Copies of this chain bind each other. A is one copy, B any other.
Amino acid sequence: MTDLATTINHQIRLAARPVGLPKDSDWSFTEEPVAMPAEGGVLVRTTHLSLDPAMRGWMNEGKSYIPPVGIGEVMRAGGIGEVVASRHPAFAVGDKVSAGLGVQEFCLIPADQIKRAGLVKIDTRIGTETQWLNVLGMPGMTGYFGLMDVGQPKAGETLVVSGAAGAVGQTVGQLAKIKGCRVVGIAGGPDKCRWVVEELGFDACIDYKSGSVRDGLKQHCPDGIDIYFDNVGGEILDTVLTRINRKARIVICGAISQYNNTTPVQGPKNYLSLLVNRARMEGIVVFDYADRYGIAVAEMAGYLKDGRMKSKEDVVDGMANFPATLLKLFNGQNFGKLVLRVG
């Protein structure tokens, strides 16, 4: 084991608020000596970082569901790591943990930040490190509670999910299948669409990059749409709105098509379909369900174990690749949950 006291912690910090897609100059690479924990604190060595569409929002100024990352701060990121020093009774050296580690090789979590960082031990017998960032992590929790609490699926209903091959999408679609729904995905490119249908068992998947989403929905949702789980916003949201059923639920989870706009967000011009169909559009933020994560993890770990649920992660090596890798989310190049392996 290396001597921590002489180890350097490499970090990536937000240098500027991006306009449009983040550029290299929006980041700064810094380093500092690793600091050891004081009483009640824990030092974690990052092994895997979660790259998520929500990160783009955290980089903007202004009020949102959490404060923005400050200029000069280490970029916020959820991650998996290993405890390398601990003065906290619940964490021992060698424990695998999940927490808000930030884009850095080491994260020192003082006693009073343990809860805020969401530091918890993970059990790698239940799922791999990357699954703990996917189905068993934030995206999985988002999909689970967004679907179950806001979407409220009933057997026999039709669910459409965009970003179907992404982290949230794969959870939502598979879970909705287990709950007895007809499930139609929307994804970019034939590989993702094939995987979603053949491997995950969706009833169909519409390739928005080739052909018409409108025609695809017409073909694959002959009884209309009861639940739409939206990760993308923009034109696709508007198209889905034309085909919803009475009392449909639209779960607003994200709008990745709009995050790098330099013009205003495209509002859903067909929103009056909510009126005509007595339908509902509702936002979800996963943190609201923190006290119930355990229930969702237990249920989905069971599905992973018995094979009813699969997961796919797109793992890229090397923390220095963070800026370029993040962009894969916005051009749709990631295939599955995007994870950066560190160290």
Using a CB–CB cutoff of 8 Å, the interface residues on chain A facing chain B are 63-65, 233, 238, 252-255, 258, 264-285, 288
Contact with A283, one of B233, B254, B266, B279 (Cβ below 8 angstroms): B279
Question: By DSSP majority rule, is chain A's interface helix, strand, loop, or mixed?
Answer: loop
6 more contacts with CB within 8 A, not counting A238-B267, A254-B275, A274-B281, are A64-B276, A252-B274, A265-B270, A265-B272, A275-B285, A280-B281
* Shortest distance between the CB of A80 and any CB in chain B (Å): 26
- What copy number does this chain have within its complex? 2
* Contacting pair A282 B283 (CB below 8 A): no
Q: What residues on B are CB-neighbors of A278 within 8 Å?
A: 65, 282-285, 288
Contact with A276, one of B258, B270, B285 (Cβ below 8 angstroms): B285
Q: What residues on B are CB-neighbors of A270 within 8 Å?
A: 265, 267
Contact with A281, one of B254, B281, B284 (Cβ below 8 angstroms): B281
| Interface hub of A264, A269, A277, A279 (most chain B Cβ within 10 A) | A269
* Shortest distance between the CB of A174 and any CB in chain B (Å): 23
* Shortest distance between the CB of A188 and any CB in chain B (Å): 21
* CA distance in complex: A264, B264 (Å): 16
Measured CB to CB, the nearest residue on chain B to A274 is B283
* Shortest distance between the CB of A208 and any CB in chain B (Å): 19
* Contacting pair B238 A276 (CB below 8 A): no
* Shortest distance between the CB of A273 and any CB in chain B (Å): 8
Contact with A268, one of B254, B267, B273, B276 (Cβ below 8 angstroms): B267
* CA distance in complex: A71, B95 (Å): 74
* CA distance in complex: A146, B65 (Å): 28
Q: What residues on B are CB-neighbors of A273 within 8 Å?
A: 283
| Interface hub of A269, A277, A283 (most chain B Cβ within 10 A) | A283
* Contacting pair B276 A65 (CB below 8 A): yes
* CA distance in complex: A273, B270 (Å): 17
A-B contact pairs, 21 of them (CB 8 A): A65-B275, A65-B278, A238-B267, A252-B275, A255-B272, A255-B275, A258-B272, A264-B269, A265-B272, A266-B269, A267-B270, A268-B271, A271-B281, A274-B281, A275-B283, A275-B284, A277-B283, A278-B283, A278-B288, A279-B283, A281-B282
